[in-house]
Amino acid sequence: MLRIAIAGAAGRMGRALTQAVQQNDALVLVAATARAGSSVIGTDAGELAGIGSAGVIVCETLPKDAGQFDLLIDFTTPENTLNNIALCAELGLPAVVGTTGLNSEQIDQLKAYSEKIPLCFAANYSTGVTLCLQLAQQAAQVLAEDSDIEIIEAHHRHKVDAPSGTALALGNAIAESLDRDPKEIFVLAREGITGAREEGTIGFSTIRGGDIVGDHTVLFASEGERVEITHKASSRLSFARGAARAALWISGQPAAGMYDMRDVLGLKKLDLS
């Protein structure tokens, strides 16, 4: 049985991750953390997630000795994640990271740690979203020449980063399939007299409100028709169960490296043409 530590167990995703781990017979929760000074420090992680006692007390820091857990799942903040992955690299333990909002330097630092340990890093662990990434790439290869591409995303009012990591991942997947530099073609905001839409760009629109878990649409709009690839999440458990699946997969990888959810699902080996 794989012994799991969850960083950020007090958050919305952290609680869903606790549920997903407890529901998976191949996993067992052995450690859980929350930010320093949090009111949940000292509480049972399972009770915090609303599923009854898990026998694991929420602490401020991860166990720092080898042999106390087998794998870390981290959906926290960029700074906290990097500190935690540094510990995993020191201990030689694999990790699953779903933290969003990392800048290019922080991503490079994650890549450096992945030279020492197997690391799964994805903006979204939903199997449906992962399939949408693949479908968006295929659609772009067929439709991009004659279409304007827009990515629309909606999340709850408490989300702190925009556009969402998943929206950016969809844009990056399309840019990769077109052999284009995202920095040159992404339009992240529009305001005022913007002029006509520049050909070949990818626009992003952001909605924040209520308790929306996560909606994403890739729109290919051409003269006379539109193609839309849409994913709507109604529960964070879809992401958490995907992360649990990734944990089992990454724990079996013999080689260090940076992996993502498409590796977990075998989609990079799948020809959808």
* Catalytic sites, residue numbers: 155, 159
Q: Quote the radius of gyration of the chain (alpha carbons, Å).
A: 19
Q: Which of 179, 182, 185 is nearest to 200 (CA)?
A: 185
- The answer to whether 91 and 71 have CB atoms below 8 angstroms apart is no
b/e per residue 207-242 (b: at least 16 CB within 10 A): eeeeebbbbbbbbbbeeeeeeebebebeebbbbbbb
The H or E element containing residue 261 is: helix 261-265
Distance CA 104, CA 110 (A): 10
Sign of CA dihedral 23, 72, 255, 262: positive
Sign of CA dihedral 105, 106, 107, 110: positive
Beta-strand pair 2-7/118-121: unpaired
